[in-house]
């Protein structure tokens, strides 16, 4: 692929603006994960309760993606993006002033942060509509790589929280959101393509299509795994390996960077090899990582009076976990890109609606993963059952690809103009 040809094929300012918009929105969406140990001080919450609370924004994002997709179809992606960003910024500004003093307040704030997660239904179709089929995997990968906002969250939020207080994290986030909103208003444009308004009846029709349900299931595994781990891993490392908040943030930032950075690579490889073949390999690798992680032993606790292990004090088994999580999250991130290489080939005219539906199920997957880990910890005292369950789910995804690949390649794939 020639870079000049790609640049001329669409509208790169919109692609850049969509990436930045999704990036800062993702930062807001998953911000509770690395901050929960600081926010929850004095609330007397168990580990299971904390994991449940960090899953609330993920659930909110899942439910709000379809309404936001409907609104984008009705008034345009750009207007929808500006409105959604404004609402989230207002909520963040209130938290910077008044804080969060109860679990109920955290739940309410988490649901509003879900609107930031729903930005997926705005940013990706807005960028994708500008580009032809042969570039969809790469374009969707670039726009979707905005999920690297979670890297910045986990890398800097714990240090800011320990140095200046956790509310200072939201002061910084609010400033970043304002800058990005200005760039988005100036640079982003809706593609000059015929507008097709999608109603609730159309969503029902899409849900009745077996292909749409397969895409939802595949994204439930890939994106759900990525965002669920991004939200839950800070608590996992502070609980299972007794890391400090800062040390947990550093290792999680390293892990999720793979998932964010390799999403465009997954889309690019899928453009060249075909999305089905790419996803098949990735599901197998993800399953193996989940199974291996599930049986890692807990690390030793520090002596009484020590808050937790610093990065250099973490036990060797913690770094084994970091390596396995890094491989698994890398594959999940690439899987996100591969799913969105296939989706526009099958549902190009309904890409806005399908992005909302598929994204919603991806968000549900993230909520389900975090809640499954919380249930596993509460019911068994460990995380083995939770990770084993998701390893089996990835194997089911691999089996599903085996079922659909021939039909996809010989029907809509044969006339799509792209490799399936």
Angle subtended at Cα 42 by Cα 36 and Cα 43, rounded to the nearest 5 degrees: 70
At 341 the pLDDT is 85
Angle subtended at Cα 154 by Cα 162 and Cα 97, rounded to the nearest 5 degrees: 55
Taking the CA atoms of residue 263, residue 216, residue 129 and residue 415 in that order, the dihedral angle to the nearest 10 degrees is 100
Tokens read off for 159: 């240090």
| Residue 286 near residue 334, CB atoms below 8 Å | no
pLDDT in tens, 190-199: 777 665 566 6
* Whole-angstrom distance, CA of residue 399 vs CA of residue 309: 41
With 70 as the cut, is the pLDDT of residue 29 above it? yes
pLDDT in tens, 304-346: 777 788 989 999 999 999 999 999 999 999 998 899 888 888 8
**Which residues fall within 8 angstroms of residue 143, CB to CB, at 6 or more apart?**
15, 18, 19, 22, 123, 124, 127, 128
With 70 as the cut, is the pLDDT of residue 243 above it? yes
Give residue for tokens 């994960």.
Answer: 33
Across 356-366, average pLDDT: 86
| Residue 278 near residue 141, CB atoms below 8 Å | no
| Listed ranges 4-13, 71-80, 159-168; the one with the highest mean pLDDT | 159-168
At 216 the pLDDT is 94
pLDDT in tens, 392-411: 999 999 999 999 988 898 88
At 357 the pLDDT is 83
| Listed ranges 136-145, 219-228, 279-288; the one with the highest mean pLDDT | 279-288
* Whole-angstrom distance, CA of residue 103 vs CA of residue 193: 45
Q: In CATH, which of 1.10.940.10, 1.10.3860.10, 1.20.1250.20, 2.60.120.10 is domain 13-181+197-415?
A: 1.20.1250.20
% the chain with pLDDT above 70: 91
- A 10 A CB-CB count for 43 gives 15
% the chain with pLDDT above 90: 46
| Residue 325 near residue 255, CB atoms below 8 Å | yes
Angle subtended at Cα 328 by Cα 327 and Cα 329, rounded to the nearest 5 degrees: 95
At 104 the pLDDT is 92
Per-domain residue ranges of the chain: 13-181+197-415
With 70 as the cut, is the pLDDT of residue 2 above it? no
In the chain the first and final C-alpha atoms are separated, in Å, by 18
Closest CA to 38 of 148, 162, 133: 162
* Whole-angstrom distance, CA of residue 148 vs CA of residue 150: 5
At 328 the pLDDT is 96
At 5 the pLDDT is 58
φ/ψ (deg, to 5) at 95 = -65, -35
């Amino acid at each position: 692929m020639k870079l000049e040809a790609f640049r001329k094929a669409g509208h790169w300012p919109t692609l850049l603006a969509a990436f930045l918009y999704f990036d800062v929105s993702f930062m807001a969406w998953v911000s509770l994960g690395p901050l929960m140990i600081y926010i929850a001080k004095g609330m007397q919450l168990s580990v299971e309760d904390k994991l449940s609370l960090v899953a609330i924004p993920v659930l909110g994002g899942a439910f709000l993606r379809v309404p936001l997709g409907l609104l984008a179809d009705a008034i345009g992606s750009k207007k929808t993006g500006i409105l959604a960003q404004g609402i989230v910024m207002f909520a963040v500004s209130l938290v910077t002033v008044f804080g969060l003093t109860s679990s109920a307040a955290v739940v309410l704030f988490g649901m509003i942060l879900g609107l930031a997660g729903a930005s997926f239904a705005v940013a990706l179709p807005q960028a994708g509509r500008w580009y032809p089929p042969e570039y969809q995997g790469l374009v969707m990968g670039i726009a979707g790589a905005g999920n690297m906002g979670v890297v910045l969250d986990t890398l800097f939020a714990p240090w800011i929280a320990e140095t200046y207080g956790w509310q200072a994290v939201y002061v910084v986030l609010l400033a970043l959101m304002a800058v990005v909103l200005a760039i988005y208003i100036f640079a982003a444009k809706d593609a000059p393509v015929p507008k097709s308004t999608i109603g609730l009846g159309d969503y029902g029709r899409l849900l009745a299509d077996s292909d749409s349900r397969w895409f939802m299931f595949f994204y439930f595994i890939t994106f759900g795994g990525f965002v669920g781990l991004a939200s839950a891993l800070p608590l996992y490392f502070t609980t299972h390996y007794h890391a400090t908040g800062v040390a947990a943030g550093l290792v999680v930032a390293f892990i999720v960077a793979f998932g964010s950075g390799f999403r465009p690579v997954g889309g690019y490889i899928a453009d060249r090899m075909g999305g089905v073949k790419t996803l098949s390999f990735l599901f197998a690798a993800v399953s193996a990582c989940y199974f291996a992680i599930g049986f890692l032993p807990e690390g030793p606790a520090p002596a009484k009076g020590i808050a937790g292990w610093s990065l250099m004090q973490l036990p060797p088994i913690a770094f084994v976990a970091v390596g396995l999580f890094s491989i698994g999250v890398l594959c999940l991130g690439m899987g996100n890109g591969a799913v969105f290489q296939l989706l526009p080939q099958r549902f190009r005219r309904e890409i806005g609606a399908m992005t909302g539906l598929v994204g919603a199920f991806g968000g549900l997957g993230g909520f389900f993963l975090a809640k499954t880990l919380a249930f596993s910890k509460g019911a068994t005292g460990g995380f083995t059952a939770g990770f084993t369950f998701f390893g089996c789910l990835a194997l089911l995804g691999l089996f599903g690809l085996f079922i659909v690949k021939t039909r996809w390649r010989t029907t809509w794939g044969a006339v799509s103009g792209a490799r399936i």
